[in-house]
Amino acid sequence: MSRIELINIDKFYGDNHVLKDINLVIEDGDFMTLLGPSGCGKTTTLRVVSGLEKPQNGRMLMDGREVINCDDAYYEEPSKRGLNLVFQSYALWPHMTVYKNVAFGLKIKKMPPQDIEDKVMNALKLMRIDELSHRYPNELSGGQQQRVAIARAIASDPKLLLLDEPLSNLDAKLRIDMRSELKRLHNEMGTTIIYVTHDQVEALTMSTKIALFHEGVLTQVAPPMELYMNPIDLQAADFIGNPRINFIQATGKIAGGRLHVVSDLGSYVYESEHLTDEPMPEGDFSCVIGLRPEQVCIETEPFEGAIEASIYASQPAGSETLVTLSVGRQEFLAKQIGLAEYNINQKVYLRIDPNKMNVYNEKSTRLIKLAV
Ligand SMILES: Nc1ncnc2c1ncn2[C@@H]1O[C@H](COP(=O)(O)OP(=O)(O)OP(=O)(O)O)[C@@H](O)[C@H]1O
Ligand SMILES: [Mg+2]
């Protein structure tokens, strides 16, 4: 078991309030990714969990047992928490070979030599660096060193694995390969993983849950596809997805319990079951439609219910084509699978499912209508 609960955690560095009232539960077996732009508090959260940093307010429970309680000034030393926890760091021992670096922690635990060898070689194979076992760290590339660090972290079968941007030094291809290796590893070992990244693709592809941070605040915790489908505010919507979500200006109004939305795309009415619990303003109010580029389908012939648009620019890239469209005063991006060729200023006809749109209250920035 390794369930972590952070309750009302605040962390300050001097006057700098870097974690603001964080409440987060990491269930046993989760692959929880802490995601957000640089400086939002991801590493600090991981350091609080690992015991490298003390928060100023709040509590932390591990498997239901209190290990931090700032109100009572109670702080259990990390070494006494009895949780096999590994904090991956890049710092390898320079005077030890790759093999010895990975074996070091197991030797300290006085594991039988044959078991050590099995575990080390298994971890090195998994990270595809078994052929480098006799090299010293200064004979490795940055990406290879990073893989040794992950191998060292997983060799001891930790119950809780804390990984801070472990793939950041790898080239694009290796990064994709390592994503699947880590995902398989999580599946096979059942280890609880807390993983820090600012790369949303990494977060979306590997995690069972994502905790999205913004300036020290935890904005949303959800499974990846839920986060992608329904980001809880405009900032979250803007951060998640590549190419970025389109924002389209609109006017909203609640009438008869239903949401009426008018924009250059047309007029839509949404039933109450598709609305969130956010408070709704009286009368007309400004809202923003969130529309994913892949939800826009371009046809070259007119059809009933089509939205008329013209091609502003088209970027064919082989497996997909990104098309900038203009409709009324709005410009937005559509993503078409495969190769599609359009002329600049060509008239086209769009098919967009209004149910797949998100609607945000512009003033509060909060999601008011769910994509379904
Ligand atoms: N030891 C420290 N002393 C003072 N300020 C710190 C310290 N560590 C972090 N900070 C500040 O706390 C804030 C959060 O830092 P943190 O390292 O948690 O960000 P992060 O989300 O991991 O960012 P990145 O993606 O760049 O690694 C930042 O403003 C940072 O400057
Ligand atoms: Mg960091």
Domains of the chain by residue range? 4-84+158-229, 239-369
Rounded to an integer, what distance in angstroms lies between the CA atom of residue 316 and that of residue 301?
A: 20
**Measuring from atom 6 of ligand 1, which residue has the nearest CA?**
13
CATH class assigned to 4-84+158-229: alpha beta
- Residue 171 confidence (pLDDT): 85
The atom of ligand 1 lying closest to the CA of 216 is: 14
Rounded to an integer, what distance in angstroms lies between the CA atom of residue 16 and that of residue 298?
A: 48
Cis ω for the linkage preceding 223 (within 30 of 0): no
Least-confidence region, from 119-133, 164-178, 241-255: 164-178
Kindly list the protein residues whose Cβ atom lies closer than 6 A to any atom of ligand 1: 13, 16, 18, 36, 38-44, 198
**Measuring from atom 30 of ligand 1, which residue has the nearest CA?**
39
- Residue 224 confidence (pLDDT): 97
**Residue pLDDT, tens place only, 62-77:** 999 999 999 999 998 8
**Measuring from atom 24 of ligand 1, which residue has the nearest CA?**
38
The CA 304 to ligand 1 mean position distance, Å, reads 54
Q: Which residues contact 259 (CB under 8 A, 6 or more apart)?
A: 252, 253, 269, 270, 274, 275, 280, 359, 368, 369
Ligand nearest to the CA of 36: 1
The CA 311 to ligand 2 mean position distance, Å, reads 41
What's the pLDDT band for 158 if we cut at 50, 70, 90? confident
pTM (2 decimals)?
A: 0.91
- Residue 82 confidence (pLDDT): 61
CA 59 to chain centre: 24
**Residue pLDDT, tens place only, 86-137:** 666 678 899 999 999 999 989 988 999 999 999 999 999 988 899 999 999 9
Q: Is pLDDT larger for residue 50 or for residue 79?
A: 50
The CA 13 to ligand 1 mean position distance, Å, reads 9
Rounded to an integer, what distance in angstroms lies between the CA atom of residue 290 and that of residue 233?
A: 10
Percent of the chain with pLDDT over 90: 76
- Residue 138 confidence (pLDDT): 93
Residue of 9, 18, 215 to test ligand 1 pocket, by largest number of atoms within 8 Å of CB: 18
Residue of 6, 33, 34, 42 to test ligand 1 pocket, by largest number of atoms within 8 Å of CB: 42
What's the pLDDT band for 168 if we cut at 50, 70, 90? confident
The atom of ligand 1 lying closest to the CA of 44 is: 18
Rounded to an integer, what distance in angstroms lies between the CA atom of residue 41 and that of residue 115?
A: 38
The CA 134 to ligand 1 mean position distance, Å, reads 35
CATH no. of 239-369: 2.40.50.140
Q: Classify 249 in phi/psi space as left (phi over 0), alpha (psi -120 to 50) or beta.
A: beta
Q: Which residues contact 172 (CB under 8 A, 6 or more apart)?
A: none
- Residue 190 confidence (pLDDT): 85
The CA 214 to ligand 1 mean position distance, Å, reads 12
Percent of the chain with pLDDT over 70: 97
pLDDT at 85 over 80: no
**Residue pLDDT, tens place only, 13-31:** 999 999 999 999 999 999 9
